[in-house]
Amino acid sequence: MNLAISLILAIVPALIIVIYFYRKDRAKPEPKGIIIRIFLLGLLSTVPAIFIEMGVNQLGNFLNPYRALYPVFKAFIVAGLVEESLKLFIVKKYAFRRKCFDEVMDGIVYTVVAGMGFACLENVLYVLGRGITVGILRAFTSIPMHASVSVIMGYWIGMAKFSTNRGSRRRLILKGFLLAVLFHGLYDLCIFAIPFWNEFMVLGLLPVLIWAMLLAKRRIRAALKEDEEAGRIPLTC
């Protein structure tokens, strides 16, 4: 019974967020087949992420004499850079050039779906290893964090989709990617730094999460406004 509850706590929050964003794009919803494919690709990306992070983490051995720097490396490079790179790769490779990607909001939807796929399997692995309490905590912290940084990156991917200049397109995508890595890294730093710096670092989790969620909310509004003004969706939506 506990295992079943743990798995539900690991999977359901990610699915709820996927459904929420899919319905948020209700004026011109994306094909369900593509949404499912992007979600599954995000889920499968957890596997290479584990091995890539293990390899990159070995570089952290060079920071052993400077242990205070190790949490920064682990948070921003091992976790943030690797995981956000995989999300970006999935969206650019399997969604960016599709004709159905016809709104700025679509960039948010596809990136969130990829992010929730990743977060879903990551959550399952954590819950199986550490139990129901971790599942509850991650449902209200890690899952919203993954969703928020995906919204932030997805907005700039969406803006890049409608840029006519290749250089501008690259800069917009890079901006979204770096912001996602920044917030992802700040969040993880509050956890990874506890053994090295101070246990009170955990108090930074909530402010970072709220900051990311508020920024994500503004990006959603901006995306909808951009699409309305460009005539991509009805003004009544």
- Record the tokens describing residue 236, joined without a space: 């009544």
Q: Which residues of 196-229 are buried (b: 16+ CB within 10 A; e: fewer)?
A: eeeeebeeebeebbeebbebbeebbebbbebbbe
Can you give the pLDDT at residue 131?
A: 72
Kindly give the residue spans of alpha helices, DSSP state H, lying in the chain.
2-24, 32-44, 46-58, 70-73, 82-94, 104-130, 132-140, 142-161, 166-192, 205-229
pLDDT at 60: 75
Specify the pTM: 0.92
Q: Which pLDDT score, from 0 to 100, does residue 133 have?
A: 79
152: left (phi over 0), alpha (psi -120 to 50) or beta: alpha
pLDDT of 28: 77
pLDDT of the residue at 195: 81
pLDDT of residue 18: 94
Which amino acid does the sequence have at 162? F
Tell me which DSSP letter residue 198 carries.
-
Q: Which tokens is 50 given?
A: 């584990």
pLDDT for the residue 138: 84
In eight-state DSSP terms, residue 29 is: P
Q: CA-to-CA distance for 27 and 152, rounded, in angstroms?
A: 21
Q: What is the pLDDT of residue 177?
A: 98
Residue 198 pLDDT:
80
pLDDT for 217 equals: 96
DSSP state of 204: G
Q: Which residues of the chain have a pLDDT value below 70?
A: 1-3, 63-66, 233-237
CB atoms within 10 A of CB 186: 21
Q: Tell me, what's the pLDDT at 64?
A: 67
